[in-house]
A and B are shown apart, each in its own frame.
Chain A
Amino acid sequence: MSDAPLATEAPRDVIHSAPPRAAESDFAVRLRANSEYVVIPLLALAIAAGLFAIFLLALGKSPADFIFYVWRGGFGTSFSLQNTLQRSAPLILTALAVAIPARIGLIMIGGEGALVLGGFASAALAIPMLGHVPPIPTLIVMGLFAMAVGGFWVGIAGYLRYARGVNETISSLLLTYIGIAIMNFFVEGALRDLTDPNKPSTKPLGKAYMIGTIPGTEVHWGLVFGLALCVGLYFLMSRTTFGFAARVTGGNFRAALAQGLPVGRLIVACSAIAGACAGLAGFFEVAAIQGRANASLAAGYGFTGILVSFLARHNPLVIPVVAILFGGLVASGGLIQRRMDLPDATVLVLQGLIFVVLLTSETLYGRFPIFKPRGERDRT
């Protein structure tokens, strides 16, 4: 039994199944090599779906029902589809916050902190501007400031890594907690809106200063910016000297040093880009969803983004696909809880299975001769 979300990858499958010509063109060689990156994850997803089906059967529930509800709750109606896209918007940005440092060999998991601080900073900056500056310039300044603050925050972890050898995974995680604490400190103190005695928050932006939705939909603009950034950052990391230098550094740090690459600046820059992406996600949470900054900003998007990035193998172009798959799973999670009487953790079990199976499938790369080009050339 296949899993419904697989349907989103179907077009790629079609491309791959076109039979290669006998005399292989350069394109066919590429197709052969790249199809490995499609077939193996699909296989992994199918295995995860199979394991999850066993789990459901053990609970006495029908896997067919589950697939139906994932489809219906996540993709099957126009409401469901928008629900999925809306939920995937912050995940795309927070996944980029993991993927970019991963290219330079860093495991940064501080997206949550950059999101919270970026969102808070933009809300705080907006307070004196409300009513004095028109909405559009205010929002632009807010967005840029959120990116700057987020970039600075994760940039710290990058700098500490380069200059002091501090483990960036640990430091970025700890910086997340500090970031949330800083927001709480101001939101419960100096910047608190005193008209609301019970939920400490900053002053509301008000409807006029909120970012609207994409016309004709209920999805906010964060999705568009996320997709644009995915494309832009893909080009930055794959088609520019900056990206090349970053990937060299990620591949072999000592070799990069020996080549005279500006390793320190590259590391801090990649970290700052990552933080800026997460900070932008925070800005959209404030300007499109919450309308003010408070503890609800720390909703875990930064942490789910880690998962999304790993599943996308840190490829910015694959991130939207995985994020939408995840958004769909989360969106349908509610319907599954309600209709199948399964606990909220069910979807987490499926996510966990996918994660483990996909990571395990890493070992399969390069082991199937069918993906090797004819002749001895090794392009992988």
Chain B
Amino acid sequence: MTATEISRRTLLRTAALGVAGATLGLGAAGRAFAAKDLTVGVVYVGARDDFGWNQAHAVAIKALKDVPGVKVVEEENVPETDAVSKSMESMINLDGAGLILATSFGYYKPFVVDLAKKYPDVEFRHAAPLWNKATDPKNAGSYFGYLNQAHYVDGVAAGLSTKTNKLGFVAAKPIASVLSNINSFMLGARSVNPKATVQVIFTGDWSLPVREAESANALVDAGCDVITCHVDGPKVVIETAEKRGVKSCGHNASQAPLAPKGFITGAEYKWITIYKGYATDLAAGKPLPNFEAGGYEHDYVQNTPFGAGASPEGQKAALAAIEGLKAGKPIYVGPLKDNKTGKVVIGKTYGNLDPYLDQMDYLLEGVVGSTT
């Protein structure tokens, strides 16, 4: 129990003194606590056990709790409205949080930016590459994992585990990060199996379980024997693939338990690397980095341990691909053409973290499907 926790007496006092008394008395206690230890406040947009984006963060947060001197407070299902400002503010005012981790894309503008200006003593970090050095407050910042590197590894393993050479991809919206995952998956598969193609279906939104199941079924009907996805909760896609007797690759968090027969591997974030870094920096009194982004070369992403669906040669090639990525071997080796007009869209070879790739609005040759 901490100073801010309830006791019968505080309850009575709060009731007796009313609003003003509570603000002064308990607010001060909360601040005093913050000076001694680090309280980290975490907000999630969905459930912590969604087998997807939120779970990937929650798993890392669980590990962060084991770091001495760190206390974590978490809130799930916080929508991207002023509700998130109020949740974060409540963590600062009532829990004495010194570091806020805002894990959903839409939290940043205007909510994180405005709150960082309002609370200059609190550090805010947001999980998307949005922090702008010129305009945004110095106590805010971004961290991001280039998951497309892990999708590339998925592609390598899938390319050597498929029999039909047709791979299926269920995607939410045709935005840059999703397109990069699809293209990387295809390039990974083609790096070991030039005959492989990736067929993509866009569902149109982040969480449409029924349409995700329909899309997965349609891809299996079209002859795909490996299915992967980029949607908020990959559970439905992976389960549908398993039910249809085809193989699958995961996304965001580990879905291995959902597909004991067909799981190959999956693209996962490794947020704990970043979170532990923040905690050690704050404990040492060092300023936090404002912008952190990377993939395998920074240990920010990982692949799920191989499942029963992964062929031995696929596993070998995937492990080799991981070593290559750690050494900075590029995924996008130009020239590469788009799949619509045959125009060269990637003229030269780009490094894996090159900002040019963040503007991607095309599918490459080898992907079947359209962004519109």
Contact = CB atoms under 8 A, between A and B. Distances in A.
Say if A and B assemble together: yes
A197 B358 contact: yes
Interface stretch (B74-82, B315-323, B329-337): B74-82
Interface residues of A, number: 42
A76 B86 CA distance: 15
Interface string A175-213: 000000000100010000000011110001000000000
Chain A residues touching B, majority SS: helix
A64 interface: yes
A73 interface: yes
Nearest to A297: B81
A334 interface: yes
Interface stretch (B148-156, B171-179, B216-224, B271-279): B171-179
B175 A83 contact: no
B77 to A, nearest CB: 4
Contacts of A337: 74-76
Interface in A281-335: 285, 289-291, 294-296, 299-300, 330-331, 334-335
A118 B23 CA distance: 38
Q: Which of A75, A294, A299, A338 has the most CB of B within 10 A?
A: A338
A258 B177 CA distance: 63
Contacts of A334: 75, 78, 86-87, 90-91
Contact of B86 (A69, A87, A197, A204): A87
Contacts of B14: 68, 71-72, 76
* Closest CB pairs A-B (n = 7): A338-B73, A296-B80, A344-B77, A299-B79, A76-B22, A197-B176, A77-B23
A338 B74 CA distance: 6
Given A199-B106, A294-B106, 17 more contacts: A65-B6, A68-B11, A69-B6, A71-B15, A72-B26, A75-B19, A77-B26, A79-B23, A87-B83, A87-B86, A188-B173, A197-B176, A204-B109, A295-B205, A335-B94, A343-B76, A344-B76
Contacts of B176: 197-198
Given A290-B110, A335-B94, A285 B81 contact: yes
Interface in B172-207: 173, 175-177, 204-205
A108 to B, nearest CB: 23
A317 B15 CA distance: 27
Q: Chain B: interface residue count, which band? A: 35 or more
B11 to A, nearest CB: 5
A233 interface: no
Interface string B235-271: 0000000000000000000000000000000000000
B66 interface: no
Nearest to A71: B14
Contacts of B73: 338-339
B199 to A, nearest CB: 22
B363 interface: no
Contacts of B83: 87, 299, 330
A199 B22 contact: no
Contacts of B109: 204, 291
A2 interface: no
Interface string A66-106: 00110111011111110100110000000000000000000
Interface of A: 64-65, 68-69, 71-73, 75-81, 83, 86-87, 184, 188, 197-200, 204, 285, 289-291, 294-296, 299-300, 330-331, 334-335, 337-339, 343-344
Given A198-B105, A199-B106, A337-B75, A86 B86 contact: yes
Contacts of B100: none
A38 to B, nearest CB: 22
Interface string B155-177: 00000000000000000010111
B361 interface: yes
A56 B32 CA distance: 31
A65 B79 CA distance: 26
B94 A86 contact: no
Contacts of B290: none
A78 B86 contact: no
A296 B74 contact: no
A61 B120 CA distance: 36
Contacts of A188: 173
Nearest to A65: B6
A77 B19 contact: yes
Contact of A72 (B80, B94, B106, B175): B94
A200 B359 contact: no
Contacts of B173: 188, 200
Contact of A296 (B106, B358, B361): B106
